[in-house]
Chains A and B, each alone.
Chain A
Amino acid sequence: MVGLILKDLMTIQRQMKAQAFVLVFLLVMAIFMQQSSMLLAIIVFIVTIQAITALSYDEQSKWDKYANTLPISKADIVFSKYILSVMLMIIGLVMALPILFFINFFTNNETEFFLTFNLIVTLALCSLAVLLPIYIKFGSIKGRIVLIALCFIPGFLTGMFKEYIPDMPQTFLYLKQYVYLTPFGGLLLLCLSSLVSTAIYKRKEF
C-alpha cells in the first residue's frame, strides 16, 4: 500500500509542480478579489483531482497489468487511490487555510466561512466517490463520457420532478443547521464508493 501511494505521488509530482503556477496566479487573484472561498474551492479540487490524473497515468502505461504480478492485493490497489485522494485533499486544505485566514482577516466575512468550508469538502468527497468507480470501471476516455452523461442527470431529474420539490431557499435554510455533518456524509459515501470500486476491480481482467 505504501509503495503504491509513493508511486502515485512520484508520478503526479511533475503535474503538481506545473499546477503550482496556476495556484499562485489564483492566489493573487483571490487576494485582489477578496474571494477566499473561491480560492479554497479551486485548491481543494485541483489537488483532489490528482488521484484521477494518477489513474490516467496508470491506464496509459498499463500499470495494472504489472501491479497485479506484484504481491499486492486488488483491494489494496483500489484502496490506495482513495487514501491518496483524501491525503491530497488534506494537503490542499493545509496549504489553503493559512492563506484563507489571512484573506478573511482583512475582509471580515468569517460567518459564512464554516459553511463554505464544509460544503467544499463535502462536494470534493462526493465527486471522488462518484468519479473513482467510474474511472476504474470505464477507464479515462470512456469514463469522461460517462461523467458528462452523469452531469445531465441531476438537471434532468430536477426538471422532471420540479413540482414535487419544496421551496428551494426554504429547504436550504432548514438544511444549513446540519451542514457540519455533511463532510462525514461525504466520507461515508467515499467509503461505500471504495467498496463498489473494489468489487468492480476484482472482476476486471488485464
Chain B
Amino acid sequence: MNAIEIHDLHKGFEGFFLKNISFSVPQGTVMGFVGENGAGKSTTIKCMLNLLKKEYGEILLFGKDHVEHELSIKNDIGVVFDDLHVPETLNATQLDKIMSKVFQTWDSGYYFERLAQFKVPKRKKIKELSRGMRMKLSIALALAHHPKLLILDEPTSGLDPIIRDEILDLFLAFMQDETHSILFSSHITSDLEKIADYITLIHNGEILLSESKDALLYEYGIFKGNSEEVNDLPKHAILRTRPGTFGIEALVLKKEVNEAFRLERPSIEDIMLFFVKGSV
C-alpha cells in the first residue's frame, strides 16, 4: 500500500503553478522531496494537508481521499513545519495538556521522554526557546500521538549539523516500524542522502523525477571531459549536461556507457543541479 499517492495535482497562484504533480510514497519508506526555494515543495505539502485547496487532481493518504476522510487521516499523521506555529506564550507542559485533549492516542510519557532526550525545557515559554529547541519541541509534538506518517516540511533548515543529526536519528528510530512512512521536504540534500529511500525532485512546480535513491546513486554517473569526449558518449545515455570546470559534465545512465569512460558517482545535490540547471 502507498502511504501517499498524488495524481495530476494542479494548483495555481499569481505567477506560480503546480502542474501535473504525481508521485507516491510506499508504506514503510522515506521519500525525500527536494527542490530549490520556491519550487513548489511547501505548496504540494499544503495541498496534501488541505491547507490549500487543490484545483484538480487526486490526493490519497493511506488510500483514502484527503478531503473526504480529512479528520481520520489527520489522526494518523504528524506534521512538522520549518517553525513551531503555536502561540508563543505557551510552554511544553501546557502543550501536552492541550494535545492530550486533541488526540485520543496522545502519549504524555513518550512526549516527556523526547523532551528530556532533547533537553527541551518543560516550563520555558516558546518565545524564550532557541530555534533548535523549538524544532525539537515541534518534532516531539508530531511524534507523541504515534502517527503512521510524518510529513516534514524543511524540518532541519537553519539548524546546526549536531542538532540535525540528532533529529535524523529520531526519524530513523521512527522508521523501525515498517508500517511507518515519512515525506521529508528539504533542500539540504545531505540529510536526504542519510535517510531517504526515494527521491522526488520538483522544479518550477513540476516533478522532474521520482525514483529510488539507490537507483539514482548507482545507476547514474557523471562524466567529465571536453566537448569531443562527451560527443563520444552514446546519445541515449546522456540525461543532462552542464558546463564544468574543465569542459563539460554529463549525467549519464551508467549501464549504457562503455566501461572505458571513467564515471564519478553523483550525489543527490549533483543530480538536482543537473536537472535544474543543466540542459538536455
Contact = CB atoms under 8 A, between A and B. Distances in A.
Contact of B53 (A61, A65, A205): A205
A154 B50 CA distance: 39
Contacts of A62: 83, 85
Interface of A: 2-3, 6-7, 10-11, 13-14, 57-58, 60-63, 65-66, 68-73, 205-206
B86 interface: yes
Contacts of A14: 89
A3 B87 contact: no
A2 B83 CA distance: 25
Given A66-B81, A205-B53, A206-B52, A72 B86 contact: no
A206 B52 CA distance: 6
A70 B102 contact: yes
A69 B151 CA distance: 10
Given A61-B85, A62-B85, A66-B81, A3 B90 contact: no
A71 B103 contact: yes
A7 B87 contact: yes
Contact of B98 (A6, A60, A65, A68): A6
9 contacts: A2-B101, A6-B97, A57-B89, A61-B86, A66-B86, A70-B102, A72-B71, A73-B71, A205-B46
Contacts of B72: 71
A65 B72 CA distance: 18
B88 interface: yes
Interface in B1-28: none
Contact of B88 (A2, A3, A6, A60): A60
Contacts of A71: 71-72, 74-75, 102-103
A7 to B, nearest CB: 5
Contact of B79 (A7, A11, A60, A69): A69
Interface in B144-158: 151
Contact of A63 (B46, B77, B86, B151): B86
A60 B51 contact: no
B74 A69 contact: yes
B98 A7 contact: yes
Interface residues of B, number: 31
B49 interface: yes
A65 B81 contact: yes
Contacts of A68: 49-51
B237 interface: no
Given A11-B87, A14-B89, A63-B86, A3 B99 contact: yes
Nearest to B77: A69
Given A65-B85, A69-B49, A3 B101 contact: yes
Nearest to A11: B87
A11 B90 contact: yes
A61 B87 CA distance: 5
Given A69-B51, A206-B46, A10 B90 contact: yes
A61 B51 contact: no
A66 B85 contact: yes
B94 interface: yes
A63 B102 contact: no
Nearest to A3: B101
B83 to A, nearest CB: 8
B85 A63 contact: yes
Interface string B89-114: 11000100111111100000000000
B42 to A, nearest CB: 10
A3 B77 CA distance: 18
Most buried by A among B77, B87, B100: B87
B100 to A, nearest CB: 8
Contacts of A63: 85-87
B51 A65 contact: yes
A87 B77 CA distance: 32
Contacts of B103: 70-71
A11 B86 CA distance: 10
A69 B50 CA distance: 8
A101 B98 CA distance: 37
A61 B88 contact: yes
Interface string B22-53: 00000000000000000000000010011111
